[in-house]
Structure 1
Amino acid sequence: ATGHAPMSYDELDAIRAQGIGAIVNLCGEFCDLHEIEDSSGFDVYYLPVVDEHAPDLEAMERALDWMDEAIYLDKKVLVHCRMGHGRTGTFIAAYLLRRGFDFKAAERTMKGRKAVPATYDQRRFLKKYGKQVGPLQTAAPRIDNRPATAVDTVITAYHYLLARFDEVWPAAEECCGRDDHPCCGRPFDLQLIESMHLSQVINRQLKQKKRQEVIDRAFALAGRLKELHQLHPGLAKEQIAAKAKGEDLTCPLLEEGACLVFTDRPPRCRYWGHAADDERLATLQLAIDGLSRQAYRTLTGQEPPAAPLCFSSADTISGKFVELYFRAMLGRTE
């Protein structure tokens, strides 16, 4: 999305209501707006550019790298300068050139829009940049850098499943991950659809710096769990956690006593404390198993293995579960 600089908290709220979670701020004249946007919960990249001028090439490349990552992680991004015209249009045109459009194709794509390069300096910069990156020759250029997948419909079904069970089990006043965290020190396993959903939530909702901190903690936890597995072979994660009292096995998503993805935490966390023999838990688990198998078929075109495909919470949070999934698909378990 493109637009003008938000000038009030109401405008920031309106941006958030559109599902936008990331902002590229090009305003060189507002020295604190990017800080306000950041403190309002947006993931912000600040690239100050003087009005009617083009950005520094190396600085712009870093900003484009950041936006590439944000789009790949399925975040909605707003690019803005003060009025949403020349600087915004120049940045968007540069992104199109980077994605394989030639200069004329980029112009056609942006024709009729408010955000377009407005000065000779900006157009000269884009022509120079277009020659540097070159147009895509082997395939039609695309704005979106994310691979298309039909599995989104399965994840949507998983959302509806959780919403239905949330109605059955309304949240208590004290919930694990908000007011208390009795389950957050015990590593656990997730099925494929749960891992895919949690990974998507982390990518979309956490700011870049916070996301990297969480991933680093997850890798550290996975390493310690591997050591404990070697000390206690054959034991499940819950059993290892019971034996390893005194070990810090805290969930990487727990920070200052609260879950960073509280509203989207996995079923194991959101329904913690319910009796293990509750028939509703068995019904929920059966539905999760079915959606996981459906996701596997959608992704691979193959029948899933007989046993449920599970991944540790640490591997899910770090993103390593994707590698483990491909190993399982190829029949490799080591």
Structure 2
Amino acid sequence: MLVNFSWLVPNQIAGSGQIGGYGIYAEDSREKLLEDLALLREQGVLAIVSLTEEPLHEEVLRANGLAYLHLPIMDMQPPRLEDIKQFIDFVKVSKREERPVVVHCGAGMGRTGTMLACYLVGQGHSAQAALAQVRRGRPGSVETIAQEEVIEDYAEYLNAFSNGKKPY
């Protein structure tokens, strides 16, 4: 059963809570993953970004035709700049290949909300506007000050980069 699934940009990028039960080591994780994949397919999702520390069953995802990126980030922590860049690159490729993406973590709030806001920043939104849009669609998203700060930092990084300056 999908928890907290919603589209940020319809048919392009969505957020969700845990997909496939709680980790590959759970006894019924393959069955739960297959159940969730069926629900995701109904939504049109063809790519998954997992931000949980434990990966999903990659072989199950690939066998079901899904693109997959695992970026393990500790709960309540912000992503590193390298994680954000890798995430953005994955979403760009998925968008070009017409593969709608779902981003998930445990509850679909902190790590997921942070990455969704960074996506919007990359689309030209200010950090504040991105955060507000994510929270409107996914109340409670971006749970810590450190997560809010990384969105601001990413916006500053992109601004410095677009102005021809060397970021950081």
Q: Same fold (TM over 0.5)?
A: yes
Q: 1:130 maps to which residue?
A: 155
Which runs of 5 or more residues in structure 1 are unaligned?
138-334
- After superposition, the CA RMSD in angstroms is 2.1
Structure 2: any 5+ residue segments left out of the alignment?
A: 1-13, 21-31, 163-168
Give the deviation of 1:97 after TM superposition. Answer: 0.8
Question: Partners in 2 of 1:34 and 1:130 — Cα distance?
Answer: 32
Distance 2:138 2:57 in 1: 22
Measure how far apart 1:93 and its partner are.
Answer: 0.5
C-alpha spacing 1:74/1:101, structure 2 compared with 1 (3 Å):
same
Counterpart in the other structure of 1:71: 95
- TM-score normalised by structure 2 residue count: 0.72
Give 3-state SS (helix, strand or coil) of 1:134's partner: helix
Shift in Å, 1:99: 1.2
Aligned in 2, Cα 1:81/1:38: closer, same or farther, shift over 3 Å?
farther
Aligned to 1:309: none
Amino acid at match of 1:127: E
Is the CA contact (8 Å cut-off) linking 1:47 and 1:60 kept in structure 2?
A: no
Q: When the two structures are aligned, how many residues end up with a matched partner? A: 135
Q: Which residue of 2 aligns with 1:181?
A: none
Q: Structure 2 counterpart of 1:6, which letter?
A: I
Rounded Cα–Cα distance in structure 2 between residues aligned with 1:19 and 1:66:
17
**Larger RCO (CA within 8 A; separation ≥ 6):** 2
Query: What's the offset of the Cα at 1:31?
Result: 3.3
Does residue 5 of structure 1 match 2:33? no
Q: Tell me if structure 1 keeps the 8 A contact 2:50–2:56.
A: no
Deviation at 1:114, TM superposition (A): 2.5
TM-score (norm 1): 0.38
Q: Compare CA radii of gyration and give the structure with the larger one.
A: 1
The corresponding residue for 1:15 is: 40
Q: Is the 8 A contact 2:46 2:101 kept in 1?
A: yes
Structure 1 residues 133-186: Cα deviation after superposition (integer angstroms, max 9, x where no partner): 129x9xxxxxxxxxxxxxxxxxxxxxxxxxxxxxxxxxxxxxxxxxxxxxxxxx
Task: Identify which of 76, 85, 102 aligns with 2:109.
Answer: 85
* 1:56-108 deviations in Å (ceiling 9; x for gaps): 21132022111111112221111111111100000011111111111121123
1:201-280 map, 5 Å: none
CA distance in 1, matches of 2:110, 2:78: 9
Question: Aligned pair in 2 of structure 1 residues 38, 83: CA closer, same or farther (>3 Å)?
Answer: farther
From the superposition, tell whether residues 34 and 86 of structure 1 become closer, same or farther in structure 2 (CA, over 3 Å): farther
Identity %: 27
| Aligned equivalent of 1:109 | 133
Q: Which amino acid aligns with 1:60?
A: I
Shift of 1:38: 3.2
**Structure with the bigger percentage of helix:** 1
In the other structure, the counterpart of 2:83 is 59
